[in-house]
Chains A and B, each alone.
Chain A
């Protein structure tokens, strides 16, 4: 079975926010809410600085606390590649999943249900890449099957140094950043 994930090259990302705009358009994300966003992380001491620009979203964790804590089963793992999704008409809007996500990727949609990145599952089902991946002008994002050793994402991970976000939270995030 496939295990979908993303590999993002932080050396190529310039923080142009095209992915953010693409997501908002593709998924009709309401005003003032984002399913993905840009982070500029600067570490070190001047002049010895290290900057990483990242596009962040739900990590579609392999050990997803948001799914475990959901009392209705609205938050669930989809059969297709382990994508973490929310069934809108099962969600009661209790916000347990918002509180359980170490990455704060979720928000309550103005219509009342919990919402977040879906890896554009409607596109992936048709064999397309998620909207953010497909519009990136620097081609810094890659989407694919992390379980398949021959996929482009797996090869990038074996050839380049990479890290995930807050691995110590134990959620096994499926988005990896090349450094």
Chain B
């Protein structure tokens, strides 16, 4: 028997019961999604597709900026000492993934603005002639444009990776103590981004390409999740118990049904049929992938906060 009585049975007193609410999973999802969008944009720019007026890489930077700003707003909502947010930018703390994230976000915006200016969509270039002029000048420098593509891919990678390291650096929550989290969030971000871009792309060949890429990412994600779980269940008691929270505990229904079945396996089957021209492309599978990615962040953040070192066996 092990009976543990404390004077802290009060959720106002015990922070483990209320650290992060919905804001952080939403932000982490958006971070991953935009990271994936940047990598796709960077790839298209690098490949020279930006010259094509219908290329989705012309609109992605703008969409990315809008979506990321919404994510940063939810992050801001989560801060408890909002007036002091600027303190983030007076220092760089090398051991703090959150500090890395704050600075990565700062360099991500100029990169997206530069990508946007490479070939400004007509709607803007007609209204703001100066934008068109910048586009013309930029396009004369092929290597500069290619480098913007490379920087997009690199920063997208960093952004996606940091959203996972942010959690895995917090050793007090055993479920997050996995070196697979960054890969899981990066691959899930790439898959959600492929699904999103698939829906907004105008060109059929791009849609086909992204559906195929998404299938690849979804298959990879299944392997990464499997390795994440294997790493946990072959570790120490607290880690085994943490994995059980996902596998058979209170987060199991969300994990099996929404993350795995509805978020990965079923959309993968639908998209495999679609790319093999057995059925038509519809937004159903991409929407399932995107919602699945969001639920994945919720499950990992909430289940992680539920796990702890003191007398495991939750």
User: Given contacts A166-B310, A168-B309, is CB(A95)–CB(B93) below 8 Å?
Assistant: no
| Residue A128, interface by CB 8 Å | no
A-B contact count (CB 8 A): 155
Asked if B95 contacts A69 (CB within 8 A), the reply is: yes
| Residue B81, interface by CB 8 Å | yes
Report Cα–Cα, A44/B99, bound state, in Å: 45
| Residue B123, interface by CB 8 Å | no
Report Cα–Cα, A168/B5, bound state, in Å: 22
Residues of B within 8 A of A162 (CB): none
| Residue A104, interface by CB 8 Å | yes
Residues of B within 8 A of A94 (CB): 78-80, 98
Q: Nearest Cβ distance between residue A97 and chain B, in whole angstroms?
A: 9
| Residue A72, interface by CB 8 Å | yes
| Residue B85, interface by CB 8 Å | yes
Partner of A17, one of B7, B78, B85: B7
Report Cα–Cα, A160/B7, bound state, in Å: 27
Residues of A within 8 A of B84 (CB): 72, 89-93, 112
Report Cα–Cα, A32/B170, bound state, in Å: 26
User: Given contacts A37-B8, A71-B98, is CB(A93)–CB(B170) below 8 Å?
Assistant: no
| 74-105 of chain B: CB within 8 A of chain A | 78-82, 84-85, 87-88, 90-91, 93, 95-99, 101-102
Interface residues of B (CB under 8 A from A): 1-8, 10, 12-16, 19-20, 78-82, 84-85, 87-88, 90-91, 93, 95-99, 101-102, 166, 169-173, 236, 305, 308-310
Interface residues of A (CB under 8 A from B): 17, 20, 32-34, 37-46, 49, 56, 65, 68-74, 89-96, 98-104, 106-108, 111-113, 166, 168-170
